[in-house]
């Protein structure tokens, strides 16, 4: 590693054909203080880029994004940042998803952080390219930098004319970036950031060319499916593989910690082989039931501290387990050879997979490649490395590339679950019925896939976002999880915030108070939330009379550096409640791509309608009952409400959007059902028995 | 055996009871139709059989006979089919995994219902799950595709 690679900005002319720029994470911190000197020699730390920008001689720009697109559109929004600062037409940008590489720093796609964390570093990468190209042109013309402008992939000067970037690459790469100050394009001059931009992958998706993990096919590769225990917690004792091996094209049967794998030359044979396996399973509890688990959680809810004087009010809610049910079932392909591992997987955790491969095979991390195709949904599930473990183990045994495919019933039954929980909320009310004290006690399970998520304080910190001016505390108790649990969009906010907002609505319904007015009063010190609340209420037309049998509900959330308020209308006049309309007002700070933001909001609303009006995972006789979208009642188009997204103008730093709309949308929908029927929901879903 | 896929005759070297989805994907490398459930419960694999929507995941390849299979690749290779244009224009895909199936259901609907109502769209697409919740844009895109189709002649 040469000295120049220690620079925060690294560039090289690759044979004069391209200008390569990279920035290291520290640049982000510098830029926040406004003191960034991009070329300043790094004082320490090795070369650790988090994004590469590559300008080709023909003017095309390739951006390598160290995040995984699982439907949230980061490949588009992050490319927009670079194009803006580099002053190139967006159409000239091609996006590549980075392979796992420790030099990128963290590559985890989680917590609605991608745009938040990369907003400044990626703009700096683009801006650095721009100022160097401008300097190169200015030197050639013998004019000051300040007289030149970069526009549409060219440097222009009033008297000297114009030079396309492609003709400046070698000159720019020869410059010392330390000598060229980097300035970011001022917000009022943005041409790309903040404008609706379609996804860069659309053309591939609509023609069927887009490639997902499931589409990976390696020469001489095998497909594996795994027979998994019928009872939760059971394991294989005896395996009779004869009938499975007799299926044409089945190649092998192997035991794994997670079950028994059938490897075949093609998927249909692997699935058929799995049907023919005779496995004796041991363990598991044939009496286990999620209804009992929820009873246990309800009994474990901590007692409230002594309440101050006033009118007491309390309510209890139960929240069920949820499966991620990514549209593309979980899968991974691995090829383990004597001295290298190659993995193809749409993972939210590339560095975790790389580390895991090294640990499982004893092969050095530097010899592990992890390539990241598109992911058909993630919702937290693809941050886990269970399927890559299966693929790596099986390829090591088979000495061939192996793709492990989870079937839909595997995916529904054996994936990690969003933990169930039970909540009891207490308030003391004043004479107007307004809360003057509150306590929220709940019991839930840890996230078994992330052991640090077992501490009650951490769970409260993650889930409780209560911003209303009501003093009080939150107490959590954590019971051992009876099955695998994991991150599910919004994580614990999906239970805790929903319970808190349902409780506020319950207070309003009980006291005949207006749901919006009650929140407005309590949010006086929260201008961002208040602005969202007013925007949502006004766009909805709050206060107008609704049709008979309809109800409206409201909820707010401040999280991920963003604020949101939701007003939802539900029609309860028919046999089943029907979501009619959902208005979501969001303040996510600077919006990079309004089209992408709107899509994320719509997605969170769809999750909310699904989980409020029917979808849940239940366990009976020791096994998950649901097995596909047939019985995991996810939203379909015929029950999809109108969704209106109101952008509340904001100059705040970019906030997160991916997980923002789920909790308040769920709470608003449940509140709408409560308002329409006058019956306090027992939790989610509001129809049928919970658990 | 031979099957007709997107206008050409292809040779499949798999047993007749192989689900058509795997014959297409594993046998022929036609990867547009997606596996989402394998039991006809999600619509991700939806393709057309002589112009009518069908579920390749539950249709044995031996039952296809001489009928023409159209997958998303068969709409057009360059994205010029009205449904593809509308989908891209209205930025429908999130993860995109369900969208081939959604588009094939929409294409089939428009063949016999050139100006569909919302109720027609509900009926034709209700068995296509979109886990990402792109339904508002799907609905708008079907209407838009209908309009493009009327403007540009039949497809
Ligand atoms: S894969 Fe065919 S309907 Fe789900
Ligand atoms: S776009 Fe992801 S499932 Fe529809």
Beta carbons of A203 and B121 less than 8 Å apart: no
pTM: 0.93
User: What confidence score (pLDDT) does residue A107 get?
Assistant: 81
**A371, A344 in Cβ contact below 8 A?**
yes
The minimum CA-CA distance between A688 and chain B, rounded to whole Å, is 22
> CATH for A213-284+330-405, among 3.40.50.2000, 3.30.499.10, 3.30.365.10, 3.30.572.10?
3.30.365.10
User: What confidence score (pLDDT) does residue A569 get?
Assistant: 98
Q: Are residues B103 and B122 in the same domain?
A: yes
Which residues fall within 8 angstroms of residue B45, CB to CB, at 6 or more apart? B21, B33, B34, B35, B36, B55, B56, B57, B101
End-of-domain residue from the set B49, B74, B99: B74
Q: Are residues B114 and B53 in the same domain?
A: no
Ligand nearest the Cα of residue B128 is: 1
The minimum CA-CA distance between A529 and chain B, rounded to whole Å, is 25
User: What confidence score (pLDDT) does residue A283 get?
Assistant: 97
Q: Decide if A246 touches B, using CB distance below 8 A.
A: no
pLDDT tens profile A647-687: 999 989 998 888 999 999 999 999 999 999 999 999 999 99
Fold adopted by A292-322+416-677: Aldehyde Oxidoreductase; domain 4 (3.30.365)
Report the residue of A97, A198, A206 to disrupt the B interface, i.e. the one with the largest count of B CBs within 10 Å: A206
User: What confidence score (pLDDT) does residue A15 get?
Assistant: 42
| Closest atom, ligand 1, to C-alpha of A629 | 4
Is A34-205 CATH 3.20.20.140? no
Using 50, 70 and 90 to split pLDDT, how confident is the model at A327?
very high
**A78, A94 in Cβ contact below 8 A?**
no
| Closest atom, ligand 2, to C-alpha of A377 | 2
Any ligand 2 atom below 6 A from CB of B100: no
For chain A, how many helices (H) and strands (E)?
17, 29
As a whole number, mean pLDDT of residues A376-393 equals 96
User: What confidence score (pLDDT) does residue A172 get?
Assistant: 86
Distance CA(A73)–CA(A82), nearest Å, equals 15
Ligand nearest the Cα of residue B19 is: 1
| Closest atom, ligand 1, to C-alpha of B34 | 1
Residues 86-125 of B with CB under 8 A from A: 87-89, 91, 93-100, 103, 121-123, 125
Write out chain A residues lying below 8 Å of B47, CB-based: none
Distance CA(A230)–CA(A234), nearest Å, equals 7
Using 50, 70 and 90 to split pLDDT, how confident is the model at A39?
very low
Q: Are residues B89 and B63 in the same domain?
A: no
Distance CA(B123)–CA(A664), nearest Å, equals 30
Q: How far is the CA of A328 from the centre of ligand 2 (A)?
A: 9
Distance CA(A543)–CA(A531), nearest Å, equals 17
H/E element, B65: none
The minimum CA-CA distance between A75 and chain B, rounded to whole Å, is 11
The minimum CA-CA distance between A267 and chain B, rounded to whole Å, is 7
Which residues fall within 8 angstroms of residue A425, CB to CB, at 6 or more apart? A314, A315, A316, A317, A438, A439, A440, A441, A499, A500, A503
Q: How far is C-alpha A397 from the geometric centre of its chain's CA atoms? A: 33
Same fold flag, A213-284+330-405 and A292-322+416-677: yes
CATH number where B46 lies: 3.10.20.30
Specify the number of domains making up chain B: 2
User: What confidence score (pLDDT) does residue A45 get?
Assistant: 22
Q: How far is the CA of B24 from the centre of ligand 1 (A)?
A: 13
Count interface pairs A-B at CB distance under 8 A: 187
**Two tokens, residue A226:** 């795994």
Is the pLDDT confidence value at A32 over 60? no
Residue-range domain boundaries for chain A = 34-205, 213-284+330-405, 292-322+416-677
Distance CA(A46)–CA(A369), nearest Å, equals 20
pLDDT tens profile B22-32: 999 999 999 99
Distance CA(A178)–CA(B7), nearest Å, equals 59
Q: Are residues B96 and B61 in the same domain?
A: no
φ/ψ (deg, to 5) at B125: -115, 5
Neighbours of A689 (CB within 10 A): 12
Only one residue has tokens 């991620």, namely A324
User: What confidence score (pLDDT) does residue A8 get?
Assistant: 39
The percent of residues in chain A predicted with pLDDT above 70, rounded, is 92
> Which of B36, B87, B126 minimises the CB distance to A206?
B87
Domain coverage including residue B18: 2-74
> Which of A268, A374, A603 minimises the CB distance to B22?
A268
Q: Decide if B60 touches A, using CB distance below 8 A.
A: no
The minimum CA-CA distance between B52 and chain A, rounded to whole Å, is 19
pLDDT tens profile A263-290: 999 999 999 999 999 999 999 999 999 9
User: What confidence score (pLDDT) does residue A54 get?
Assistant: 83
Q: Which residues are bridge partners to B49 per DSSP?
A: B52, B69
End-of-domain residue from the set B74, B106, B130: B74
State the average pLDDT for chain A: 90
Is the pLDDT confidence value at A390 over 80? yes
The percent of residues in chain A predicted with pLDDT above 90, rounded, is 79
**Which region among A94-103, A160-169, B134-143 has the lowest average model confidence (pLDDT)?**
A94-103
- Residue of chain B minimizing CA distance to A197: B91
> Which of B125, B126, B132 minimises the CB distance to A603?
B132
Write out chain A residues lying below 8 Å of B32, CB-based: 207-209
Any ligand 1 atom below 6 A from CB of B24: no
As a whole number, mean pLDDT of residues B120-147 equals 98
> Which of A205, A212, A602 minimises the CB distance to B133?
A602
Beta carbons of A638 and B122 less than 8 Å apart: yes
Q: Decide if A248 touches B, using CB distance below 8 A.
A: yes
Distance CA(A75)–CA(A584), nearest Å, equals 24
Which residues fall within 8 angstroms of residue A506, CB to CB, at 6 or more apart? A313, A315, A674, A680
pLDDT tens profile A7-30: 334 444 444 456 665 544 333 333
Distances from the Cα of A471 to the Cαs of A307, A466, A505, A521, A580, in angstroms? 11, 10, 18, 14, 35
Q: What is the dihedral of CA B6, B8, B13, B14, to 10 degrees?
A: 30
Q: How far is C-alpha A494 from the geometric centre of its chain's CA atoms? A: 13
Distances from the Cα of B4 to the Cαs of B26, B64, B68, in angstroms? 16, 9, 5
Nearest CA to ligand 1 atom 3: B40
Q: Are residues B65 and B111 in the same domain?
A: no
Q: How far is the CA of A408 from the centre of ligand 1 (A)?
A: 9
Distance CA(A228)–CA(A329), nearest Å, equals 15
Write out chain A residues lying below 8 Å of B73, CB-based: 207-208
End-of-domain residue from the set B52, B74, B96: B74
Q: Are residues B88 and B148 in the same domain?
A: yes
User: What confidence score (pLDDT) does residue A17 get?
Assistant: 53
Neighbours of A427 (CB within 10 A): 26
User: What confidence score (pLDDT) does residue A50 get?
Assistant: 31
Using 50, 70 and 90 to split pLDDT, how confident is the model at A368?
very high
User: What confidence score (pLDDT) does residue B155 get?
Assistant: 52
């Amino acid at each position: 590693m040469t000295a120049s690679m220690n620079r925060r900005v690294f560039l090289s002319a690759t044979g004069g054909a391209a200008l390569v720029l990279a920035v290291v994470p520290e640049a982000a911190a510098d830029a926040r203080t406004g003191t960034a000197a991009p070329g300043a020699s790094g004082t320490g730390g090795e070369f650790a880029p988090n994004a590469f920008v590559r300008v080709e001689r023909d003017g095309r720009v390739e951006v390598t994004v160290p995040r995984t697109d699982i439907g949230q559109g980061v490949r588009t929004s992050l490319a927009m940042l670079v194009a803006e600062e580099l002053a190139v037409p967006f159409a000239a940008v091609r996006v590549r998803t980075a392979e796992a590489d420790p030099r990128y720093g963290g590559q985890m796609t989680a917590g609605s952080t991608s745009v938040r964390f990369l907003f400044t570093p990626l703009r700096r990468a683009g801006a650095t390219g721009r100022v160097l190209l401008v300097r190169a042109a200015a030197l050639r013309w013998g004019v000051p930098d300040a007289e030149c402008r970069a526009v549409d992939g060219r440097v222009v000067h009033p008297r000297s004319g114009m030079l396309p970037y492609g003709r400046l690459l070698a000159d720019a790469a020869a410059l010392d970036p330390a000598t060229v100050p980097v300035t970011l394009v001022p917000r009022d001059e943005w041409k790309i950031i903040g404008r609706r931009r379609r996804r860069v992958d659309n053309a591939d998706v609509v023609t069927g060319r887009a490639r997902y993990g499931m589409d990976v096919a390696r020469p001489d590769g095998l497909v594996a499916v795994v027979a998994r225990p019928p009872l939760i917690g059971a394991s294989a004792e005896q395996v009779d593989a004869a009938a499975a091996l007799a299926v044409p094209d089945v190649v092998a049967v192997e035991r794994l910690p997670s079950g028994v794998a059938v490897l075949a030359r093609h998927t249909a044979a692997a699935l058929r082989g799995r049907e023919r396996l005779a496995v004796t399973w041991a363990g598991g509890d044939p009496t286990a039931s999620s209804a009992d688990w929820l009873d246990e959680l309800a009994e474990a809810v901590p007692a409230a501290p002594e309440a101050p004087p006033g009118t007491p009010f309390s309510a209890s809610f139960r929240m069920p387990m949820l499966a991620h049910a990514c549209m593309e079932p979980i899968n991974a392909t691995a090829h383990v050879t004597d001295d290298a591992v190659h993995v193809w997987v749409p993972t939210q955790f590339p560095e975790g997979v790389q580390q895991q491969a090294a640990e499982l095979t004893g092969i050095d991390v530097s010899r592990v490649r992890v390539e990241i195709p598109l992911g058909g949904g993630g919702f937290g599930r693809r941050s886990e490395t269970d399927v890559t473990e299966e693929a790596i183990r099986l390829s090591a045994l088979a000495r061939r590339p192996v793709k492990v495919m989870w079937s839909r019933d595997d995916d529904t039954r054996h994936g990690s679950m969003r933990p169930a929980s039970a909540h009891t909320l207490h308030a003391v009310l004043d004479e107007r019925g307004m809360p003057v004290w509150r306590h929220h006690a709940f019991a839930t399970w840890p996230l078994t896939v992330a052991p640090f998520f077992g501490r009650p304080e951490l769970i409260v910190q993650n889930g409780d976002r209560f911003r209303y001016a009501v003093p009080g505390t939150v107490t959590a108790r954590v019971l051992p999880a009876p099955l695998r649990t994991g991150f599910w969009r919004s994580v614990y906010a999906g239970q805790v915030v929903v319970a808190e907002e349902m409780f506020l609505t319950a207070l309003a319904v009980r006291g005949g108070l207006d749901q919006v007015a009650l929140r407005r009063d309590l949010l006086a010190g929260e201008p961002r939330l208040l602005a969202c609340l007013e925007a949502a209420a006004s766009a909805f037309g709050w206060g107008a009379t609704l049709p008979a049998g309809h109800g409206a509900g409201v909820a707010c959330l401040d999280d991920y550096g963003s604020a949101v308020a939701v007003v939802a209308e539900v029609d309860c006049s028919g046999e089943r409640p029907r979501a009619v309309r959902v208005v979501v007002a969001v303040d996510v700070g600077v919006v990079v791509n309004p089209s992408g933001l709107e899509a994320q909001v719509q997605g969170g609303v769809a999750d909310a309608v699904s989980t409020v009006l029917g979808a849940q995972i239940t366990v009976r006789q020791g096994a998950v009952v649901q097995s596909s979208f047939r019985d995991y009642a996810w939203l379909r188009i015929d029950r999809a409400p109108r969704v209106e997204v109101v952008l509340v103008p904001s100059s705040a730093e970019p906030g997160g959007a991916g997980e923002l709309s789920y909790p308040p949308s769920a709470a608003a929908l449940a509140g709408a059902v409560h308002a329409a029927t006058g019956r306090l929901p027992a939790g989610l879903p509001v129809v049928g028995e919970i658990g | 055996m031979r099957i007709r896929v997107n206008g050409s005759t292809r040779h499949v070297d798999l047993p007749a009871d192989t689900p058509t989805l795997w014959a297409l994907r594993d046998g022929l490398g036609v990867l547009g139709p997606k596996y989402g459930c394998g039991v006809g419960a999600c619509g991700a694999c939806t393709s057309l059989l002589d112009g009518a929507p069908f579920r390749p995941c539950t249709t044995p390849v031996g039952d296809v006979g001489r009928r023409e299979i159209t997958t998303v690749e068969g709409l057009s290779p360059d994205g010029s089919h009205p449904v593809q244009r509308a989908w891209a224009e209205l930025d429908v895909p999130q993860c995109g995994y369900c969208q081939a199936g959604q588009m094939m259901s929409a294409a089939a609907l428009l063949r016999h219902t050139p100006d569909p109502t919302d109720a027609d769209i509900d009926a034709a697409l209700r068995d296509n799950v979109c886990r990402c919740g792109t339904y508002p844009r799907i609905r708008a895109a079907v209407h838009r595709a209908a309009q493009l189709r009327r403007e540009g002649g039949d497809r």
